Structure 1
Amino acid sequence: MREAMFIVLLGFFVFTSFVEGRGLPPDEDLELEMQLKKLNKPAIKTVKTKYGDIYDCVDFYKQPAFDHPLLKNHSFHFDMRLNSPSRRHRDIKNNSSGIKGVGCPRGSVPIRRTTKEDLIRLRNFTNIHPLNGNTAGLHYAGAYVRPEFVSGMKMGGAEAYISIEKPPLPDTRVHWFSSGLIKISNGPEFIKAGWMVDPLVYGDDRPRLFTLWIVPTKGCYDARCPGFVSVNQDLPLGYVFREVSKSGEQVTEMRFLIQRETNSGNWFLSIEEEQVGFWPGILFKELSQSAGDVFFGGEVFTSPGNRGIPVGNGLIPEKDDPDLYAHHRQIAVLDDHMNVLVPATESREANDIRPGYVRQATLDEHWGRTVMYGGPGVELR
């Protein structure tokens, strides 16, 4: 029971105050070694990045996703892909710095290796995150779209060009994170994808590609528990974005697309033109049918009573100049029947932090409907 509870805790990942590390007794050290053997799958090839991450190239069929009991008798394969949807807006090339991946052999997928240091760091925290039903400490600033905003259209996904940011580091030793993302939900179920800075989860302050899926009582980040199926041999979850935006100097963006496969209910994630993987429809109930709500913007977390975390790049959007601020441009939702992306021109503000942290504008062909968001950390309850 203790081991099962710890693995769930590892999947949930979000914790509060630091506890000083101490040497582990031999029995606890042995327990960690046993957990690592279960969490890390046999590697065909191992790649170490310049950031110190170790990625194991794992056979597609042996990846952690298939440990989920609902996926034991799956018919998935390495070449599963979706056709990209057409667009009702002009497809403008973004200011991407490009993606330099891991380079696993065909038929295998890169999985970030869990280390003993990860387990020690994580076990010293108390789980109060929304993953376990507690929303204290989680805040958001952005815009949302519902079917009634787009003439009752059945929504089967969303797209945006998301600026990659590195928020100013807060002066705090409590757990925190800051992110820019697309969130697709229906009832209590949701999926998220975007960039996130989270020193507890990743061990540094770099913006990384993250995913999250939640159903009642279950869910986790990236490949930390069974669920998300990777299909890309080069682009891993937890990938470090090499370049970030600098206000007024450089805009670095990535195109994020989440789209539902109509027949199966699988939700596919693409970054730029690369399909990364999918959340199997069988994991969901309501969400396997359609999206009830799409959110574009930023989320931050810190334990209640502590000073808040900077949102976006820490700047409040005061004018219609997205070059200066964290933003999602060309935001669009997917018509589930026609497989067409429709500009989300009727998006509405979603902001529980402070007035002024969100600004929306429909600009020229390059920007389209754009959501700008951000601001400094303030104490939140």
Structure 2
Amino acid sequence: MGKRKKVILLFSMALLVLSCKVDAKAEATTTLSEVNRKLKLLNKPALKSIKTEDGEIIDCVDIYKQPAFDHPALRNHTIQMRPSFTIQDETSSTKVDSPPAPALSQTWQKSGSCPEGTVPIRRIRKEDLLRAASLEHFGRDGPRTSWAVNAAATNGQSRHFVHLNGSKIPIFPMPDHSTAFLVTKGYNYVGARGGINAWSPRVESADEYTTGQIWIKNGPPGINFESVEAGWMVNPKLFGGAEPRLFARWTLDGYEKTGCINLVCPGFVQTSETILLGGILQPLSQKNGPQYQINLMMDHDPSTGNWWLHTSQDIIGYWPGPILSYLKKSATTIEWGGDVYSKKVNGNSPTLQQPWGVGILQPGAWDQQLMLGST
């Protein structure tokens, strides 16, 4: 009888181990299936693919089959290939006497080019998705804590301010972020310029990132504001490496549920066949050596409500008016600076550098309207 009990016990334990293995295998299969579905959704069919010297794949996708057209508001959208206005490059109120820094290029351009009628899109890999906190969060990289929760906890008040003409202007920092920026407020703005010095700052952890960028904003301060942004970013968790890359980002609700970086969600409409969002930048500035910068311009098209993003060499594309609300007519805040995300921001010194260059405002009075803020 004792032997029989022992056999039954061992048999039960074997069944339990087998059941755990089956459950683990089923969970892994489900996860893999979800990842594959996400990859199929993110990566559009390519007319041509380019393998770069960095081992990445750049897909040349039909311009009318890019991710933007998965957005419900853009199902019948007709691409606007160029702005309906003439962009003026020499209208800033600030003059820089020193010669401009040389323009940057992108490493993928050494390996090939996309044909006319297509746009280059960095292929998302399985390992990219597996690094993300969740499939839903992939490519968003907004704050991990709700703006609304923070505002409710402080009755909508901020402990951070900048001063302009005797007025105290509240600013609302994101959790686990540290930023340093120039900011202009008080008018309705229809464009901005920025020469952003390009560096390769050290990122201590894969969960941290840093940017040098321009923000264009409108909407309620701190909660549900809209923002379109561009610059360079070092983000190992998103891209799998610590190289600085060109990026564009947008949100309609303070990064809570909408928007993303580059083209990993429907929204931004790319028109350039030569510039890659997420492309590695080169060459980079060196201490006591040559300096390089990204010359970015962001302009509002009053006839369509689109916000155009372009460099000094090419038009990249636009955030379409049909997906915007507060920003559809103009912006009320423009910021130039750098942003750091790190869990070490709170109570400790951030472990990232955030060098950034000079921003040039258009239109508006530089001397009267620029303020320095930091959080």
After superposition, give the CA deviation of every residue in 1:50-108 in whole Å (9 maximum; x if it has no partner): 22221110001000001000001112154567532253355875212442545210000
Are 2:233 and 1:191 aligned? no
Equivalent of residue 146 in structure 2, options 122, 133, 136:
133
Residue in 2 aligned with 1:44?
Answer: 47
Q: Which runs of 5 or more structure 1 residues have no equivalent in the other structure?
A: 1-21, 314-325, 336-341, 353-381
Aligned residue for 1:292, secondary structure, equals strand
**1:132/1:169 CA distance change after superposition, 3 Å:** closer
Task: Point out the structure with max Rg over C-alpha.
Answer: 2
**1:224/1:57 CA distance change after superposition, 3 Å:** same
Aligned residue for 1:130, secondary structure, equals coil
Aligned residue for 1:61, secondary structure, equals helix
Are 2:361 and 1:332 aligned? yes
Are 2:253 and 1:218 aligned? no
Residue in 1 aligned with 2:352?
Answer: 310
Residue in 2 aligned with 1:348?
Answer: 371
- Asked if 2 retains the 8 angstrom alpha-carbon contact of 1:145 and 1:295, the reply is yes
**1:248/1:36 CA distance change after superposition, 3 Å:** same
- Asked if 2 retains the 8 angstrom alpha-carbon contact of 1:207 and 1:240, the reply is yes
TM-score, structure 2 as length reference: 0.75
Aligned residue for 1:334, secondary structure, equals coil
Residue in 1 aligned with 2:244?
Answer: 207
After superposition, give the CA deviation of every residue in 1:304-336 in whole Å (9 maximum; x if it has no partner): 6565132324xxxxxxxxxxxx3225x12236x
Distance 1:30 1:119 in 2: 12
Q: Which runs of 5 or more structure 2 residues have no equivalent in the other structure?
A: 1-23, 148-173, 220-224
Compute the RMSD of aligned alpha carbons: 2.6
Equivalent of residue 182 in structure 1, options 204, 207, 214:
214
Distance 1:115 1:344 in 2: 47
After superposition, give the CA deviation of every residue in 1:18-66 in whole Å (9 maximum; x if it has no partner): xxxx998233223322221121110000012222221110001000001
Are 2:168 and 1:155 aligned? no
Aligned residue for 1:312, secondary structure, equals coil
Offset, 1:258: 0.3
Aligned residue pairs: how many? Answer: 305
**1:161/1:345 CA distance change after superposition, 3 Å:** farther
**1:334/1:49 CA distance change after superposition, 3 Å:** farther
Offset, 1:282: 1.3
Offset, 1:265: 1.0
**1:249/1:158 CA distance change after superposition, 3 Å:** same
- Asked if 2 retains the 8 angstrom alpha-carbon contact of 1:143 and 1:296, the reply is yes
Equivalent residues in 2 for 1:232-247 (5 A)? 232-247=272-287
Q: Share of identical aligned residues, percent?
A: 30
**1:97/1:286 CA distance change after superposition, 3 Å:** closer
- Asked if 2 retains the 8 angstrom alpha-carbon contact of 1:48 and 1:55, the reply is yes
**1:86/1:67 CA distance change after superposition, 3 Å:** same
**1:126/1:63 CA distance change after superposition, 3 Å:** closer
Equivalent of residue 95 in structure 1, options 80, 97, 101:
101
Aligned residue for 1:244, secondary structure, equals coil
**1:111/1:158 CA distance change after superposition, 3 Å:** same
TM-score, structure 1 as length reference: 0.74
Equivalent residues in 2 for 1:225-374 (5 A)? 225-303=265-343, 305=346, 307-313=349-355, 326-329=356-359, 331-334=360-363, 343=366, 346-352=369-375
**Amino acid aligned to 1:133:** S
**1:287/1:208 CA distance change after superposition, 3 Å:** same
Distance 1:25 1:112 in 2: 26
Richer in helix (by share): 2
Distance 1:296 1:160 in 2: 7
Distance 2:69 2:274 in 1: 19
